[in-house]
Chains A and B, each alone.
Chain A
Amino acid sequence: GENVEQHPSTLSVQEGDSAVIKCTYSDSASNYFPWYKQELGKRPQLIIDIRSNVGEKKDQRIAVTLNKTAKHFSLHITETQPEDSAVYFCAAANSGSRLTFGEGTQLTVNP
């Protein structure tokens, strides 16, 4: 089955700096890669997703890049704000299969 590894497990940045979280996956058939944000005690919320026919996708301060050859994808957050502090999860799935999550990255944005 699919295996998703996520790094780093914790990330601390200063407000206004950029944050990058990286994930690798094992199943070359995976074609859907979402990122979820989970605040303490709350449900995971989708923030951005990318499919395998696209190399990069942006939504305001958030971007995701995908390298299918290397089987890795990354989340980039620019101009970080304190409200970006949360746990971020990457995930991967192929058509119709289960969504496999990484172990999460605790992002802390210091004012």
Chain B
Amino acid sequence: EAGVAQSPRYKIIEKRQSVAFWCNPISGHATLYWYQQILGQGPKLLIQFQNNGVVDDSQLPKDRFSAERLKGVDSTLKIQPAKLEDSAVYLCASTARANEKLFFGSGTQLSVL
């Protein structure tokens, strides 16, 4: 089966600039997650969608991060304005149901200079 697609693979921006990431989950997967993985740490959940509704965004820095999944399929994550500490890999993942096997995309490696 096709995996979780993410783009871009790499992104380099300067602080205070904006950036957007795109994710297309596995077909039929209702639950979509965005994780932030800082170098040397475990993935940290930013936001969880169930279809096009937000289930959990308690760890999303809402003053600068936003995410949407308008049609319940693909999703975008935006950072505006970016800070140096946002440098990380942003992983998208999907699953058919919560607490089932999580399939990760290849991630977007963001460097904020």
Whether A associates with B in a native complex is yes
Contact A89/B101 with A43-B107, A44-B91 known, Cβ cut-off 8 Å: no
Interface assignment of B43: CB less than 8 Å from any CB of chain A? yes
A43 in contact with B105 given A96-B55, A99-B45 (CB within 8 Å)? yes
Interface residues on B, range: 20 to 34
In chain A, positions 81-107 with a C-beta closer than 8 Å to chain B are 89, 91, 93-104
A96-B99 in contact (CB<8A): yes
Give chain A nearest CB distance to B85 CB in angstroms: 17
Closest to A31 in B: B99
Determine the main DSSP class of B at the interface with A: loop
Q: CB-nearest residue of chain B relative to A104?
A: B42
Find the residue from A43, A49, A97 having the highest chain B CB count within 10 A. A43
Q: Given A43-B106, A43-B107, A98-B48: A93 and B41 within 8 A (CB)?
A: no
**Complex interface: chain A residues within 8 A of B43 (CB):** 44, 89, 101
Q: Which residues of B contact A (CB under 8 A)?
A: 33, 40-45, 48, 55-56, 58, 91, 98-99, 101-102, 104-107
Please provide the 10 A-B residue pairs with the shortest distance between their CB atoms, ordered closest to farther. A101-B42, A43-B104, A32-B99, A96-B98, A98-B45, A103-B42, A101-B43, A89-B42, A44-B104, A104-B42
Give A contacts to B, CB under 8 Å.
1, 4, 6, 31-32, 34, 42-46, 49, 89, 91, 93-104
